[in-house]
Amino acid sequence: AASMAVFRIVGMTCSACAGSVERAIKRLPGIHEAAVDALNNRAQILFYPCFVNEEKIRETIEDIGFEASLIE
């Protein structure tokens, strides 16, 4: 079954930022859906915990230059 994670992401200045974060997350294995909202600095992700976890997702967001923290 899929799990859900919500991150707060700092540094997304425009909606194109949200697009690059969303693409980076979707390239990971085990991602079912990713929705990134630049206006609210939030990302909601559905993922399969056998393949990927919250920390891997967080690192992926940070690797492209944004600060991410898990909020739920």
Closest CB to ligand 9UX among residues 9, 45 = 9
In Å, how far are 3, 52, 54 from 30, measured between CA atoms? Answer: 10, 6, 11
AA letter at 32: H
Q: Is the dihedral of CA 14, 12, 72, 62 positive or negative?
A: positive
Closest CB to ligand 9UX among residues 63, 72 = 63
Of the candidate spans 9-17, 28-36, 46-54, 55-63, the one that interacts with ligand 9UX by CB under 6 A turns out to be 9-17
- The yes or no reply on residue 24 touching ligand 9UX (CB under 6 A) is no
Per CB under 6 A, residues contacting ligand 9UX are 13-14, 16-17
